[in-house]
Each structure stands twice: as structure tokens, then as C-alpha cells.
Amino acid sequence: MKPKAPKDTEQKDKIKVTEKIDVKSRLGYFSEFVTAYELAIIIDRNKGKLTSRSKIELLKQSMNLRRNELIRLKVSADELKRQETGGKVIANQIFKDLILNGKEGNDYHTLEFDIELTGDSAKGVEKADVVVTVKRPSKKQIVDRIAASLKTYKTPNINLANSTFTSLLKVLSGDDEYENKTLQKFEHIIFTGMVAEFMKIKKIKDKKFAEDAVGSGEKFLKEYGSALFGKIKEAGRAASKASHKEVSKLIIGEFDKLYKDNKKKMNQNLLHLIGMDGGDDFYAAIGTAGKQKVLSSRQSKEMKEFLESVKTNKLNVNMKPSDSGNAIDVSIQLDKEVIAKSTISFTDTGIGSGGMTKSKGAGKTNFWFNVKEFM
């Protein structure tokens, strides 16, 4: 089925600058507008015709609106620069990737280019951030269409999930009702360790009193001082580190049980974490500002194999304890060949210098995925 011609309507923005939204998301949206703007410049330079919503000045205004908002939010100049240069190199790659078949393939003035920032218009249909459609108006023909999902990463080693032990399995399994009481016990081992150390130092037998005291935030610091807080904090972290080997085995055991019955769904959920889900083209600018390399799903043979293996259900994810036992090595295999590797490490979070609350101090995972094999 031929793709439908785009409706040349007003661009849809994913956010309004007045909405409350995290800076990380704003940076991503800014990079999308940079990509669209830089792509329009390249097309114009090559004498291609731009649709009315794809005009350089319109895209520039929208891009600058987002840049000014980020400046107002005091985003670092280095981070702004990384998003700008990332958008620029992705725009160059998208233009190179367009498949312009036929005798008139490189005769750009015969073609019309539409650049759509999808916003909410494609919600529930596709995950693309920018859709580029090339038409040959003289023949009422769609020449090519790139629905691009865009990412900018500082390194090829991407942290897919920073979450509690149970939450990681919940995301991978796609089961919102998933629970594991054993893992949940380990999620709170930092707080439990701090409470135990506080009871030991202060010679307190009332556990409920100790939990309320340790979890009282700044009140604890005022009443007992930062020196004592430092001691119980170290005890909590030590308890957490001591649990990593057992947590590794538990997560692997639970994953294996879930994966056995839900392989295809869990493979797709893994793609969703990476940002490669759907039928979209995937682009990532990886590196520091001005030194980025682009990962393109249209160019990477290894990525194509990876994506195809998910569709055909030939992908297999295997987990085993690392050599130290304190982390989890994840290998992603096509048949018996390892095509990608990742790591699940553990982190102790939520213990700052401003006191502890009962909702803080959970043990968490970092799920690292290295896309270097695809580049």
C-alpha cells in the first residue's frame, strides 16, 4: 500500500512552552526542531520545493522558541550545543538516506518535500518524531517517506532504565500488575539497614520508633545531627551492596520464568526501551557536541538484523551473573550469535545529605545497552 500524501496543515507541537515538563524532554523536543530546520536548509540548498509548513523561517521560529525557553530554564550552553549539533548531523543523514528512485532521482527541483513534526498527531499510530515525505507532483507519486525516531546520546552505552528491581521486570514484561515480594524486600534494604544501625547505635528496641525517626527527613538531622546520619547512611549502603549477588540471582530467575512464556512481547518491550519500537526509522546522534556519529537504521546492517529478529521472533535474551556476581550480563542473540550486549548494574539512590524519608533509599537497577555493535 502506498503511503498517503501528507496533509499540509499547521505543525503540531508536542508541548507548549507554558506547560510544566521536565528539562530532559524539552531538550529532546528542541533537538527535533533543530533536525527539521536543518533538513529544510539542506533541501532548499539542493533546490527542492518545501511545503508551506516546512518553510525555513517557520521552522526557525519554532526552534528558537524552544531554545529561548531552555535558556530561561538555565540549561547549560554545552547541553544546548550538543542537541543543536546532534540535530544537524541527523538532518544530514536523513537527507542522504532518502531513496529517490528514477531518472529524476537527483533532480531535486522536480520534487516536493514535506517535513512534519508529528507532535500528538501520530499518537497511537507511530512513534516517529519527524516524518519526511518526498513527492513527485508531476506524477502524483510518493517517492520516499522516512518516519524518524530521534535520539541524542552522549555515549553508545545507553541507560535504558533507572528503576527499582520489581519495576524493571514490570517494564520488560509489560505487566502493570507484576509483583515480587522478595524483590520488593530488597528494594527497601537500604532503609532497613539504616534503621537497624540507628537502633544499634542508640540502643533502641522499638523498631516503629526507629523507622519513624530515620524516615523523618530534616527533622532527624536537627534532632540527631549529620554525623549520626552519615554513619547510618553508610550502614544502609553497605547492606545494599551485600545484597547485590542475591538480587542478581533473583532477577535472573524471575526474568527466565517470565521470558519463557512471554518471549515475543518482552523482546518488543526491550525495543520500546531502546526507542526502536514500531515501524519507524531510528536515528541517534552519539557523542559530545561537534563530535557526534549518527546511527541510522537505514544504514546499519547489524541494526536491521536486530530489528528483523524481533519481528520474526528469532531474538533471544539471556541473562547471567557477572564475574563478580554483583551485576547481570545480558546477551542478545540471533540464533547462537551474540549481536548485542547490555548490563544491569545496581545503584543505591535517594540518600542525600538532607535527611531520609520512608520513600527514599530504594535499591535500583541501571539497565545499560551498548549500541556500539550497530555502528
Report the pLDDT value the prediction gives residue 271, as an integer from 0 to 100. 84
Residue 121 has pLDDT above 50, yes or no: no
Instruction: Answer whether 217's CB lies under 8 Å from 355's CB.
Output: yes
Q: What is the pTM of this model?
A: 0.78
Residue 2 has pLDDT above 60, yes or no: no
Q: Which residues contact 337 (CB under 8 A, 6 or more apart)?
A: none
Report the pLDDT value the prediction gives residue 321, as an integer from 0 to 100. 95
Give the CA count within 13 Å in the CB-facing half-sphere of 286. Answer: 16
Name the least confident of 99-108, 176-185, 221-230.
99-108
Report the pLDDT value the prediction gives residue 279, as an integer from 0 to 100. 63
Report the pLDDT value the prediction gives residue 124, as an integer from 0 to 100. 38
User: Comparing 306 with 208, which gets the higher pLDDT?
Assistant: 208
The kind and range of the H/E element at 171 are helix 165-173
Residue 178 has pLDDT above 90, yes or no: yes
Report the pLDDT value the prediction gives residue 328, as an integer from 0 to 100. 96
Collapsing DSSP to helix, strand or coil, 7 comes out as coil
Confidence bin at 310 (pLDDT 50/70/90): confident
The kind and range of the H/E element at 94 are helix 77-97
Burial (0-12, 13-18, 19+ Cβ within 10 Å), 16? exposed
Report the pLDDT value the prediction gives residue 19, as an integer from 0 to 100. 46
Report the pLDDT value the prediction gives residue 222, as an integer from 0 to 100. 95
Report the pLDDT value the prediction gives residue 215, as an integer from 0 to 100. 93
Closest CA to 172 of 311, 277, 266, 252: 266
Report the pLDDT value the prediction gives residue 262, as an integer from 0 to 100. 92
Confidence bin at 123 (pLDDT 50/70/90): very low
- 53-63 per-position pLDDT tens digit: 999 999 999 99
Confidence bin at 149 (pLDDT 50/70/90): confident
Average of pLDDT values for 331-341?
A: 85
Confidence bin at 119 (pLDDT 50/70/90): low
Average of pLDDT values for 317-329?
A: 94
Q: Which residue type sits at 174?
A: G
User: Comparing 35 with 305, which gets the higher pLDDT?
Assistant: 35
User: Comparing 208 with 20, which gets the higher pLDDT?
Assistant: 208
Q: How far apart, in whole angstroms, are the C-alpha atoms of residue 340 and residue 317?
A: 10
Report the pLDDT value the prediction gives residue 70, as an integer from 0 to 100. 94
Instruction: Answer whether 268's CB lies under 8 Å from 310's CB.
Output: yes
Q: How far apart, in whole angstroms, are the C-alpha atoms of residue 310 and residue 317?
A: 11
E strands, the chain, are 49-50, 112-117, 130-136, 141-153, 157-164, 281-286, 293-296, 315-321, 328-334, 337-348, 363-370
Q: What is the DSSP string of 58-90?
A: HHHHHHHHHHHHHHHTT--HHHHHHHHHHHHHH
Confidence bin at 9 (pLDDT 50/70/90): low
Report the pLDDT value the prediction gives residue 104, as an integer from 0 to 100. 46
Report the pLDDT value the prediction gives residue 284, as an integer from 0 to 100. 92
Q: How far apart, in whole angstroms, are the C-alpha atoms of residue 348 and residue 359?
A: 13
Q: How far apart, in whole angstroms, are the C-alpha atoms of residue 265 and residue 270?
A: 9
Report the DSSP beta bridge partners of residue 346.
365
* Mean pLDDT, the chain, whole residue set: 87
Can you give the C-alpha Rg of the chain in angstroms? Answer: 25
Residue 10 has pLDDT above 70, yes or no: no
pLDDT above 70 as % of the chain: 89
Cell numbers for 116, please give them: 512534519
Q: How far apart, in whole angstroms, are the C-alpha atoms of residue 372 and residue 154?
A: 12
Average of pLDDT values for 221-227?
A: 95
Q: Which residue type sits at 58?
A: L
Q: What is the DSSP letter of 234?
A: H
pLDDT above 90 as % of the chain: 61
Q: What is the DSSP letter of 357?
A: B
Report the pLDDT value the prediction gives residue 256, as an integer from 0 to 100. 96
Q: How far apart, in whole angstroms, are the C-alpha atoms of residue 111 and residue 142?
A: 10
